Amino acid sequence: MEEYLVTRAHGLKTRLLTRKDYDALIGEEKKLTDFEAYSDIDEKAPIDQKIERIFNVFSDRLELLCGIAEEYRDLICLYADKLEIENVKFKLREIYGKRTKPYFYPYFHHVAVEELKGAVSEGEVWEILGNTPYMRGRKQPKFITGTVDEREAFLDSLYYEYARNVVLPLKRIYRDAILEAIDREALITLIYWSIIFKSTLDDLAERSIISGLVPVSFPIRSFDPLRLVRKMGISPSIVKKHLETNDISSLMLILENGNEGYYVRLSRIFFTELPYLIYYVNLALNEAFNLERIMLGKILGLPEEEIFSHIIV
């Protein structure tokens, strides 16, 4: 069953968009509906409906794999579960009166979108989360800043703690490889919050608000962004100017694109084995986010070069 599951993942990978496809979309040589997976999108539909369809394609791909081996659902959906955490963040921002996206990602594994939409207070949001594996064994900490950022950092921490627990039952060679992938993603998130919170990050660590962001497969000795970047295998000189200008968006894209090399190595080492699923799902999720960024970039009238600089390939 495991071999067949990975074989199907290989087949699904061949259907993903390529750099050439993104070039054609951004340059308007092709429309999204020219690609079979997205051929039923209504070009005249509102942006939120188009993006909903894009992420439905992503969910359908995962469901195909889950249908082959339901016992691996939590692993198959592991990276997709980030979408649920993002939806919770959207809801908290809405409650706090902060600017947020005008739509939720149409994805459900542990947190039903409609239930989340119906929450009218922060307490209700935490109550919903309390009934999911994300909050299992955890209590809501005492937030002291009164900002939504502190809560979002805690949500990220919960996700990575959950993700590590999902892979613990796997055989050691698989577990260690996927744990490093999870830890590298957590490290990128930790770098983001180290820039946002600066010196107060130590206080958040003491109150276990960011405990899940600290890697377990390799050590870190400080929350200094440049030292953390070095742990990613990226030269601090490449990102220093972005830190100095507080260009967090560009910095994150550099880290995310730089991290893709780990997934490529993962796919080569475990070409016919379970960790290949993580490689595939990461690519499929990147595709959904890339198409979302392209659509939003077009609406904002961004130059083609700028739109391309915001995608992960």
Q: What percent of the chain has pLDDT over 70?
A: 100
- Angstrom distance (rounded) from CA 36 to CA 21: 12
Q: Which contacts of 133-137 are long-range, i.e. CB under 8 A and separated by 24 or more positions?
A: 133/162, 133/165, 134/84, 134/85, 134/110, 134/158, 134/159, 134/162, 136/162
- With cut-offs at 50, 70 and 90, classify the pLDDT of residue 146: confident
- With cut-offs at 50, 70 and 90, classify the pLDDT of residue 30: very high
The answer to whether residues 295 and 311 touch, using CB atoms and an 8 Å cutoff, is no
Q: Is the pLDDT of residue 1 over 90?
A: no
Q: Is the pLDDT of residue 72 over 90?
A: yes
Q: Determine the pLDDT at residue 145.
A: 80
Q: Is the pLDDT of residue 272 over 90?
A: yes
Does 187 share its domain with 256?
yes
| CATH number for the domain that contains residue 63 | 1.10.132.50
What is the rounded average pLDDT for all residues in the chain?
95
What one-letter code names the amino acid at 76?
Answer: I
The answer to whether residues 129 and 111 touch, using CB atoms and an 8 Å cutoff, is yes
Q: What average pLDDT does this structure show over 36-62? A: 95
Residue 109 lies in a domain: no
Report how far apart the first and last C-alpha atoms of the chain are (Å, whole number).
30
What digits encode the pLDDT tens for the residues 169-219? Answer: 999 999 999 999 999 999 999 999 999 998 888 999 999 999 999 999 999
User: Which of residues 234, 250, 269 is at a domain's end?
Assistant: 269
- With cut-offs at 50, 70 and 90, classify the pLDDT of residue 282: very high
- Smallest CA-to-CA distance from 64 within 5, 105, 145 is with 5
Residue 134 lies in a domain: no
- Angstrom distance (rounded) from CA 151 to CA 157: 10
The answer to whether residues 115 and 109 touch, using CB atoms and an 8 Å cutoff, is no
Residue 9 lies in a domain: yes
Q: Is the pLDDT of residue 137 over 90?
A: no
Does 262 share its domain with 308?
no
Q: Determine the pLDDT at residue 128.
A: 96
Residue 108 lies in a domain: no
Q: What percent of the chain has pLDDT over 90?
A: 85
More confident residue, 79 or 240: 79
Q: Is the pLDDT of residue 144 over 90?
A: no
What is the DSSP-derived secondary structure letter of residue 133?
Answer: G
Q: Determine the pLDDT at residue 28.
A: 95
Does 243 share its domain with 293?
no
Reduce the DSSP state of residue 13 to 3 states and report it: helix
Q: Determine the pLDDT at residue 77.
A: 98
Residue 265 lies in a domain: yes
What digits encode the pLDDT tens for the residues 90-120? Answer: 999 999 999 888 899 999 999 999 999 999 9
Does 265 share its domain with 279?
no
Residue 256 lies in a domain: yes
Q: Determine the pLDDT at residue 100.
A: 80
- With cut-offs at 50, 70 and 90, classify the pLDDT of residue 274: very high
Does 260 share its domain with 282?
no
Give the count of domains, the chain: 2
pTM over 0.75? The answer is: yes
- With cut-offs at 50, 70 and 90, classify the pLDDT of residue 63: very high
Q: Is the pLDDT of residue 263 over 90?
A: yes
Q: Determine the pLDDT at residue 171.
A: 96
What is the DSSP-derived secondary structure letter of residue 111?
Answer: S
Residue 24 lies in a domain: yes
Does 176 share its domain with 256?
yes
To 5 degrees, how large is the angle CA 130–CA 132–CA 138?
50
Q: How many residues would you count in the chain?
A: 313
| Domain span holding position 188 | 170-269
